[in-house]
Amino acid sequence: MKLLLDQLIDRARVAGLRKTKALEAILTCLVECDRPMTLNEFTQCGHLSQKCDKATVFRLLQKLTDKGMVRRLGLHERAAYFTLLIPGTHHDYLICRDCGNIEPITSPCPVHQLEQKIREETGYTNLYHELEFFGQCPSCASTDQPSKARD
Amino acid sequence: MKLLLDQLIDRARVAGLRKTKALEAILTCLVECDRPMTLNEFTQCGHLSQKCDKATVFRLLQKLTDKGMVRRLGLHERAAYFTLLIPGTHHDYLICRDCGNIEPITSPCPVHQLEQKIREETGYTNLYHELEFFGQCPSCASTDQPSKARD
DNA sequence: GTAATTGCAAATACTTTGCCACGTA
DNA sequence: TACGTGGCAAAGTATTTGCAATTAC
């Protein structure tokens, strides 16, 4: 993973960012955690806590998002989620609506064909998609009142 | 559409809500606008403005979401979006990241099979998904600096 | 009559910005 | 040295709640 971190720092530098402690810390955090996290979660991550102000983390995430190295996700929480964007990689997510657990889906994403079709039919460019499944995880279902079952 | 509105009021009443002016107004708004809207947009809609407080609209949307009549969407804006949820109907969306335009996708959604697979493999229950495509609409692309092209 | 609903105002949560000190190139 | 970056604090925006008055049933 050391290699990946170095690559990311290079990409950031090429994109015009300076190599600072905060940048290294946040990229390390992104690589090690490898799941969408909120701004708050980032600032509490060991690599960042007590080292970087929340505003700094926010501005870095913003810059990295602008440069296409990070993607900002809306996952139904009030807070926005950010995750590392690695070329050639794509993740969809499965989210428990009770405990908020987020897990990446490993199955191949069936949407790319539709994405291509939309590109052709609508003329939209620079397309990407975001796909999330929401439900109740087995653990939350088991602690649930039997009567609460819905749908 | 009158019929649909009446059905919705019925569903709400069966779900335990009282038939109030605010409820009728918000359901009318949901039916007529027929696209995901933010809380702010709702309160500015003619059916609701100067008739319902924002808190009322918020609480009603919350109740309707609980009852499964409305779905709350995270569409990358800071504000949450709400849209009517009609059984047997499902919409994915195409969103311009520049002007924010939201259009429902008419093509059949290719995700249901994967949804079933996830249900079986993970044990998650009450699954549903949210699929959004983000890109730049032709109109925004044409007013863009040629140099701004990315990706 | 009773309990849900509403409006208003205030509290909370998350995000974003201003400003000056600091560190990188 | 020059300019991007960082920390701190304050402002901005969206959401959520408390409470008394009102309304539906």
Same domain, A12 and A77: yes
Which of A31, A61, A86 delimits the end of a domain?
A86
Same domain, A39 and A77: yes
Domain total for chain B?
2
Question: What residues contact A88, with CB distance under 8 A and at least 6 apart?
Answer: none
Asked whether residue B59's C-beta has any atom of DNA/RNA strand D within 7 A, the reply is yes
Subunit contact B133:A124, Cβ cutoff 8 A? yes
Mean pLDDT on A117-129: 94
Asked whether residue B21's C-beta has any atom of DNA/RNA strand D within 7 A, the reply is yes
Asked whether residue B76's C-beta has any atom of DNA/RNA strand D within 7 A, the reply is no
pTM: 0.90
Subunit contact A125:B113, Cβ cutoff 8 A? no
CB contact at 8 A, B83 and B37: yes
Structural domain for A129, as ranges: 90-151
Give per-residue pLDDT as tens, A34-82: 899 999 999 999 888 888 999 999 999 999 999 999 999 988 889 999 9
Subunit contact B135:A124, Cβ cutoff 8 A? yes
Mark out the alpha helices in chain A (DSSP H runs).
Answer: 2-14, 21-33, 39-44, 54-66, 112-122, 138-142
Same domain, B78 and B104: no
CB contact at 8 A, B133 and B92: yes
Same domain, A136 and A122: yes
Nucleotide lying nearest to A79, CA to C1' measure: C14
Same domain, A96 and A67: no
**pLDDT more than 90, % of chain B:** 74
Give per-residue pLDDT as tens, B70-115: 999 988 889 999 999 999 899 999 999 889 899 999 888 889 889 9
Whichever domain contains B72, its CATH number is: 1.10.10.10
SS3 state of residue B116:
helix
Spatial CA neighbour of A47 closest among A63, A21, A25: A25
Same domain, B75 and B146: no
- Chain B touched by A10 (CB under 8 Å): no
Whichever domain contains A128, its CATH number is: 3.30.1490.190
**Tokens at residue A24, please?**
């290294």
Which of A86, A110, A126 delimits the end of a domain?
A86
Same domain, B77 and B108: no
Question: What residues contact A151, with CB distance under 8 A and at least 6 apart?
Answer: B68, B126
Distance, in Å, from the CA atom of B101 to the CA atom of A20, rounded to the nearest integer, reads: 37
Mark out the alpha helices in B45-111 (DSSP H runs).
Answer: 54-66
DSSP state of B98: T
- CB contact burial B129-140 (16+ within 10 A = b; e otherwise): bbbbbbbbbeeb
Same domain, B100 and B143: yes
Which of B68, B86, B104 delimits the end of a domain?
B86
Same domain, A74 and A103: no
Same domain, A4 and A67: yes
Same domain, B82 and B94: no
**Tokens at residue B130, please?**
């949210």
Same domain, A79 and A127: no
